Amino acid sequence: MQLEKSTLDTINTWLNGSYDQKTKTEIQSLLDKEATTELTDAFYRSLEFGTGGLRGIMGPGSNRINKYTIGTATQGLANYLNKKYKDEKISVAIAHDSRNNSDVFANITADVFSANGIKVYFFSALRPTPELSFAIRELGCKSGVMLTASHNPKEYNGYKAYGNDGGQFTAPDDKMVMDEVAAIKSIDEVKFNRVEINVETIGEEIDKLYLDKITALSVSPDAIAREHDLKIVYSPIHGTGITLVPKALAQFGFTNVTVVEEQSKPDGNFPTVVYPNPEEKEALTLALKKAAEIDADLVLATDPDADRVGIAVKNNDGEFELLNGNQTGSLLINYLLTAWEEKEKLTGNEYVVSTIVTTSLIKAICDAKGVEYYNTLTGFKWIGQVMTQLQGKKTFIAGGEESYGYLIGDLVRDKDAVISCAFIAEMTAFYKDKGSSLYQAMIDMYVTYGMYKEDLVSITKKGKTGAEEIKAMMEKFRNNPPAKLGGSDVVTLKDYELNKETDIKAGTSKELGFPKSDVLQFITEDDSIISARPSGTEPKIKFYCSVNTPLASAEDYKATEEKLAEKISEIMEDLQA
């Protein structure tokens, strides 16, 4: 395999440009070894500064996370801020997670902002992503950056960029920032020399403010007081959650929290797991073992930057069962609307938000409770955008997405596992106080609103060839959509890239009214929804499948679940045929 000329040109730019000697030595070593695949993946393009920032594998190269790609991103963001807020005082907040080099990259980010005359509020040590979002709003910052790759494998790192509302950038500002980053043609344009006077350290004072405001959101403190000794097992999976989740649970009033000792220390190598992802059962192995030992009521586990949370509860046989993101999100929203209703807090001006690939059960719950429901594109920034648009007009109760991210209250504009852990524990106490387990509450919810079951299949395609394969798969589905899925006719095709919804039987189309996004949705005659979407943060294509049917009684739960699982298997087979 030969290196393409454009790739070789980029390699030579790095070998001859203002890059440090260590970087140049590593690149030369790969050339000497004729590691063409590795060199191609590292240099065939510039790591794209997308609408959420950067994410990639760490190492030397234009398509890698390193001092220079982080510096370029920050210089572009600084240029955008200095143009947009000309003649205004500009400040930003910076935080980082427990990943290898996150602290180094956070300092580089601070260096570049400060060198561009921008005031930096710099968290003194690792902190959760949602606390950064909170700090941006609380401190009146124009922007903020979180150094994290969320739940990706240990070789990854990333850079999440936020706007002045504490949410990730949306149109038109996302494009403006991307254009400024793309406009930097040489590393010599990046100002790396820190101006110390422009950097202020922050920490515990923001923690206290954040925790106090979270606690004020509590809806059922009376139930917590009665069930304060609820047995909770918590794992931060070597991440930042350890800094705030135990404190939040204690401040809510929970007195019996067991932290998984082996996973309590922040460590970017994530030594006890394959992936630091609470969506993966393997990542909760130690937490489940501890829960069985102490006969816990609830298991909570957060990802490295503490914006996602996975949970496990005891089923009716006394065995721990992991709930997926749709189940937890539906339970949370059902609990909140029920508790608000009981406290006579619902006025008709409240709303809930979720995304197009999240379970439709949330909409069914909102409709039944008379609470307005909004649907957005995938990604929490879109939920944040709705919140910003409706600020001061309507009351946001909660939002959530299937990928284990939830938010209660409007303190933050991103998914928040700190708030979520506190409210999942509160919800568990609320139902226990009524003589029910969380598992039984879930079954009761299905009896009331219908049984919904979802599954997600992710296919990984790495590197340049993988990206091309994913693109080809989406083109195939776009040009030749399936006629039937799971034995039911596909009646509606939604193409978010083309902003078009097609009624297949009638042969008519209408606009979807969403921003452009590479997502396809097939809706069948029996109301199954199947979505195809390339991941924005990993080399994957994702297939989401949602099916539903009425549930006559709690006794029918297992049989109905098996029937829906079979249907999902049929649909997934049809997709890959």
Along the chain (577 residues), what's the average pLDDT of each consecutive run of 10 residues?
A: 88 95 95 93 89 90 97 98 96 98 98 98 98 98 97 94 96 93 96 98 98 98 98 98 98 98 98 95 97 98 97 95 97 98 96 97 97 95 96 97 97 98 98 97 98 90 80 88 92 94 91 92 95 80 94 96 95 83
pLDDT at 577: 59
pTM: 0.95
Does residue 509 carry a catalytic annotation?
no
Handedness of CA 119, 121, 126, 130 (dihedral sign): negative
* DSSP codes of every residue in 45-60: SPPP-BTTEEEEEBSS
DSSP-assigned beta bridge partners for residue 408: 398
Q: 460, 337 in Cβ contact below 8 A? A: no
Q: 549, 450 in Cβ contact below 8 A? A: yes
**Residue 400: other Cβ atoms inside 10 A:** 29
Q: Given the residues 62, 91, 114, 150, select the one marked as catalytic.
A: 150
Q: 220, 422 in Cβ contact below 8 A? A: no
Domains along the sequence of the chain with CATH: 1-43 (no CATH), 45-202 (3.40.120.10), 209-449 (3.40.120.10), 452-576 (3.30.310)
SS3 assignment, position 514: coil
Distances (CA, A) of 117 to 74, 173, 200, 298, 444: 13, 21, 13, 48, 57
Q: 300, 311 in Cβ contact below 8 A? A: yes
Cα-Cα-Cα-Cα torsion 563, 569, 572, 573, nearest 10 degrees, comes to -130
Cα-Cα-Cα-Cα torsion 147, 150, 154, 158, nearest 10 degrees, comes to -40
Q: 177, 183 in Cβ contact below 8 A? A: no
Q: In one letter, which amino acid is 561?
A: E
**Angle between helix 417-433 and helix 245-252 axes, rounded to 10 deg:** 40
Decide: residue 75, CB within 10 A, 0-12 exposed, 13-18 middle, 19+ buried.
Answer: buried
Q: 234, 300 in Cβ contact below 8 A? A: yes
Q: Which run of H or E residues covers position 299?
A: strand 298-302
Q: In one letter, which amino acid is 128?
A: P
Q: How far is CA 302 from the centre of its chain?
A: 11
Alpha-carbon gap, residue 447 to 452, rounded angstroms: 10
Alpha-carbon gap, residue 351 to 354, rounded angstroms: 10
**Residue 6: other Cβ atoms inside 10 A:** 11
* DSSP codes of every residue in 170-226: -TTHHHHHHHHHHT---GGGS-----GGGEEEE-HHHHHHHHHHHHTT-S-HHHHHH
Alpha-carbon gap, residue 475 to 467, rounded angstroms: 13
Distances (CA, A) of 236 to 124, 154, 260: 19, 15, 8
Alpha-carbon gap, residue 395 to 359, rounded angstroms: 22
Alpha-carbon gap, residue 360 to 546, rounded angstroms: 8
Phi, psi dihedral angles at 209 (to 5 degrees): -60, -45
Distances (CA, A) of 569 to 136, 233, 360, 373, 454: 44, 33, 19, 30, 11
Alpha-carbon gap, residue 419 to 211, rounded angstroms: 9
Half-sphere exposure of 304 (CA within 13 A, CB side): 29
Alpha-carbon gap, residue 406 to 324, rounded angstroms: 12
Alpha-carbon gap, residue 57 to 155, rounded angstroms: 6
Q: In what order do the strands lie in the sheet with 395-401?
A: 372-376, 350-355, 395-401, 405-408
pLDDT at 536: 67
Q: In what order do the strands lie in the sheet with 257-259?
A: 257-259, 232-235, 298-302, 309-314, 320-323
**Residue 503: other Cβ atoms inside 10 A:** 13
